Structure 1
């Protein structure tokens, strides 16, 4: 992976597109946004694979994030809250929480920062009838 300097940040060209990174949202994604997105995206991907293997009927999975940063430490990310909203049929909260814990153990992004960033995960289920 190579990043290239541009006037207002950095750019990376990937096989599926270009990514602009900047401390100013006008010119690209902010680095903290990319970190939160990578942790949330990895968690969701692993979680979804587990649910698919168990044939849990998920119609939609959305993750809402909240981030706490420390302005006294260069705006360091200290906490990320991931709130999973799951829509489907026959959803079992206890089983979903167990699967979410398993997903966390297998998410490389969450594991990479587990000693420096607190990650809190919560679930909300919306039962769909057919």
Structure 2
């Protein structure tokens, strides 16, 4: 995998993934930015949340479970002093589907956390990473 980062001005950068997709990265005004894009550490949280959600949806669909929506709320704590690494990351899944079983969602989240999600497993080497979920059945 490859990625490219191009400095534009101040603390504004354009990121391009190896697959050709772009993202604007910027800092807050107090660090010389104009708040035009996502922060670098936010990108890490977006990456871990989407990596794990990808797995959960894939596992549920492969098992032919009736999943109709999946959201992940990612929260994190950082060290107080530089390099201000993440010390805790929590992923809360809200998975929706008519008749979707808690057991199926639990299994999918667990498989993602322990076997498939490269991002959360990698970040788990440096931070405490936890997962939980809720199942929403629109028929209830």
**Shorter-chain TM-score range:** 0.7 to 0.9
Identify the residue that residue 15 of structure 2 maps to in structure 1: 12
2:35 counterpart SS class: coil
2:104 counterpart SS class: helix
Identify the residue that residue 117 of structure 2 maps to in structure 1: 107
Q: Give per-residue Cα distances to partners, 1:45-68, cap 9 Å, x unaligned.
A: 011100001111011111112111
1:82 counterpart SS class: strand
CA contact (8 A) 2:55 2:108 kept: no
> 1: distance between equivalents of 2:48 and 2:111?
15
Does residue 116 (structure 1) correspond to residue 120 (structure 2)? The answer is no
> 2: distance between equivalents of 1:13 and 1:72?
30
Q: Give per-residue Cα distances to partners, 1:25-58, cap 9 Å, x unaligned.
A: 7132101110000000000001110000111101
> 2: distance between equivalents of 1:12 and 1:72?
27
Give the TM-score taking structure 1 as reference length: 0.88
Does residue 95 (structure 1) correspond to residue 93 (structure 2)? The answer is no
Unaligned runs of 5+ in 1: none
Following TM superposition, where does structure 1 have runs of at least 4 consecutive aligned residues deviating by more than 6 angstroms? none
Higher strand share: 1
Q: How many residues align?
A: 130
Unaligned runs of 5+ in 2: 29-33
Report 1 or 2 for greater relative contact order, CA contacts < 8 Å, sequence distance ≥ 6.
1
